[in-house]
Chains A and B, each alone.
Chain A
């Protein structure tokens, strides 16, 4: 372990005291923050030369960001337990036999969730709830089933205090799926995030329309292109955290992101960007991720000692890592300006073509880089369009068109998305607030989803422009909770603070309404 300066120790001590005295953090949020402060004093990773100059920078110049993963990763960032196996076999460590009825099933899941770690300390994946629960619902009538599901989902919302927690539904319609959609429509809660795996050949229109109706009431589920994800990751993929496609029984060791706009700022011109700056940053980020993964696998002891691995709910060789990027819009606009051209990203063919060219370069780099512990994805990382963090200023998520510059016609917006979604098997997505007083026609939304998935869009989210639960970037927050926090009151879920930041810095409440 490398030594650090006393100045850094003193600064951290002050931050620890500030955390302890905070008026707006809940007890759990304080404990979590304090753990992060302790971890920040360690220096155990074998870091690539040049990293610090790209990483330890303010948001105006930072080129690589590790999204608060800390200095000594003690568990993978995203963990995707095989809940089906747990329901079939129970768990020795948790002293639970396989559940025999719906009451035991719900109880078992709620217990299990409290033992699934992640970057947020809450499970980022809570299972394919329809498939997990449907078999147990056959003995109860709809009314009892709804009551139980309601209690279950309220429990999840009030104890998994972070909306990077994701449930999956579909693609097959089920009674459990229908009831969950109905209940979520009534509850209007932020947690869990939900995705409907949608394939028009498997998911019938009735079920999909129920999903649209629920999304216009509670900002979820989102729609994932099941055919596309299956072709890349296989049938056993899941959607976790914001919208991340990952393997069941595996997950992602790490997610780091390049801030492309700031890399463009370093470049003299387009040629310098493509030949020098971008390759330099990609190389350092990939080697940084390699170092993180090496520590997790070879030194942290997680895969040897955690019950999830020991009992086979996860497997080390089903993990991969996510090679992320943000700020494509800013990157393209800066490079166009440096080339003396007027076109802007999202509005000009040449600018959009430049974006595609940059994606091809990132993809080619990733296809050439290998990591020995990413066997499940061919030895490569998966590209990820990161959705941004609360402190991002003038950094647009992934490849999204900046808020305020969206094309006037929804069709043009979707066509732009279709240029980029295909590059990101581990996740990307676009969000559309819908004016539900104008569009009293859920089939209208479903037709758009169907068309979009034929045009290679991967992931779409909708919410009613006047709804309390809204999608911030990839996660959900209640507007009413943001206002509580703004007025200085503590709030239950840690993602509310992120929503407040994104509202002020990222203008997420000013998206163009469709």
Chain B
């Protein structure tokens, strides 16, 4: 019991047992709650912040899965939940009442359930790197059980300063949301100095699995971002690093209402960006 009280926990929003889109092969994806960026196109804004106990979701839950303590804390009963997502749709605070504080061992129990079907785990968010101690504990156990450990990060955490975390991390999927600092600020509300440094650092140590850019032409200069990010990492590719560039088409699904009307890039535009990279020498470019 003492162990449990001492153990680090992280707020888990969701665990997807089989995921084909969070790194190589079949992986269990763990989504942590809370993010330090405010990307305008965020398609799961309910993972951004924490519940303030307003109670709006309790009143609208059709399954009676939510209740509120006299102190105002919202309680969630997973057994009653029908996964209709009404709670996150009505939430005005970019939060979710369905968050579970879990230890690394709690998460591993969920992960072991789908052994031997998965080759690894990927922790995503929110922003997973806000919980480095939890990640270290989780990855230490997972690696002992022959699972590869991936991070899906916005790059705001300086990975080069955390060699212990890097030692148990197999690879990172990193967002480069915009290349110029102004564009990045405009897109996410934050700067990107650490992001770009991380990209180079991870490429250097061979732990950069994938770079991702959500292509939202209304928000930033997409061509410049893709070209500059591509050129910045090209030397590593030439030295033999295997890095994928994933170009994600902005789509309004799940996006907060005030940002939902941005222009969706055309297929031609996406192909053009891909060509830009392949002409430069990138051989693994994926459009989604």
Contact = CB atoms under 8 A, between A and B. Distances in A.
Interface stretch (B56-64, B115-123, B175-183, B225-233): B115-123
B26 interface: yes
A349 to B, nearest CB: 15
A454 B116 contact: yes
A447 B115 CA distance: 11
Contacts of B18: 409-411, 444, 448
A455 interface: yes
Interface in B8-25: 17-18, 20-21, 24-25
B114 interface: yes
Contacts of A455: 116
Contacts of B286: 440
A446 B113 CA distance: 19
Contacts of B24: 441, 443
Contacts of A443: 24-26, 119
Contact of A438 (B21, B25, B118): B21
Given A446-B25, A447-B119, A441 B17 contact: no
A455 B117 CA distance: 9
A451 B116 contact: yes
B266 interface: no
Contacts of B113: 411
A447 B25 contact: yes
Chain B facing A: main interface SS: loop
A443 B23 CA distance: 10
Interface in A430-456: 438-441, 443-444, 446-448, 450-452, 454-455
A508 B20 CA distance: 25
B114 A444 contact: no
A455 B21 CA distance: 24
A209 B119 CA distance: 15
B288 interface: yes
A438 B20 contact: yes
Contacts of B114: 411, 451
A419 to B, nearest CB: 16
Contacts of A447: 25-26, 117-119
B25 A452 contact: no
A414 interface: yes
Interface string B71-92: 0000000000000000000000
A452 B288 contact: no
B20 A439 contact: yes
Contacts of B116: 450-451, 454-455
Contacts of A451: 26, 114-118
A410 B117 CA distance: 11
Nearest to B119: A447
Interface string A200-237: 00000000000000000000000000000000000000
Q: Which of B26, B116, B118, B288 has the most CB of A within 10 A?
A: B26
A10 to B, nearest CB: 59
A409 B117 CA distance: 13
Nearest to B16: A409
Given A411-B117, A441-B20, A441-B21, A448 B26 contact: yes
A448 B114 CA distance: 10
Contacts of A409: 17-18
Nearest to A444: B20
A411 B17 contact: yes
Interface string A179-200: 0000000000000000000000
Interface string A347-375: 00000000000000000000000000000
Interface in A370-428: 409-411, 414
B170 to A, nearest CB: 15
B114 to A, nearest CB: 5
Interface string A42-77: 000000000000000000000000000000000000
B17 A448 contact: no
A444 B114 CA distance: 13
A441 B288 CA distance: 12
Contacts of A452: 117
A49 B4 CA distance: 69
A444 B26 contact: yes
A414 B20 contact: no
B288 A440 contact: yes
A455 B118 CA distance: 13
Contacts of A444: 18, 20, 25-26
A444 B116 CA distance: 13
A450 B120 CA distance: 14
Nearest to B287: A440
Interface in A9-28: none
Contacts of A446: 25
Nearest to A438: B20
Contacts of A410: 18
Given A438-B21, A441-B21, A414 B26 contact: no
Given A410-B18, A411-B17, A411-B18, A441 B25 contact: yes
Interface in B199-215: none
A382 B97 CA distance: 54
A450 B18 CA distance: 14
A351 to B, nearest CB: 20
Interface string B114-157: 11111100000000000000000000000000000000000000
A464 B122 CA distance: 26
Nearest to B286: A440
Contacts of B118: 447, 451
A401 B276 CA distance: 48
Contacts of A440: 20, 286, 288
B110 to A, nearest CB: 12
Contacts of B17: 409, 411
* A-B pairs, 8 with minimum CB distance: A451-B117, A447-B26, A444-B20, A443-B25, A439-B20, A441-B20, A451-B116, A447-B25
Interface of A: 409-411, 414, 438-441, 443-444, 446-448, 450-452, 454-455
Given A439-B20, A441-B21, 20 more contacts: A411-B18, A411-B113, A411-B114, A411-B117, A438-B20, A440-B286, A440-B288, A441-B25, A443-B24, A443-B26, A447-B26, A448-B26, A448-B117, A450-B117, A451-B26, A451-B115, A451-B116, A451-B117, A452-B117, A455-B116
23 contacts: A410-B18, A411-B18, A414-B117, A438-B20, A438-B21, A439-B21, A441-B20, A441-B21, A441-B24, A441-B25, A443-B24, A443-B26, A443-B119, A444-B26, A447-B26, A447-B118, A448-B18, A448-B26, A448-B117, A450-B117, A451-B26, A451-B116, A451-B117
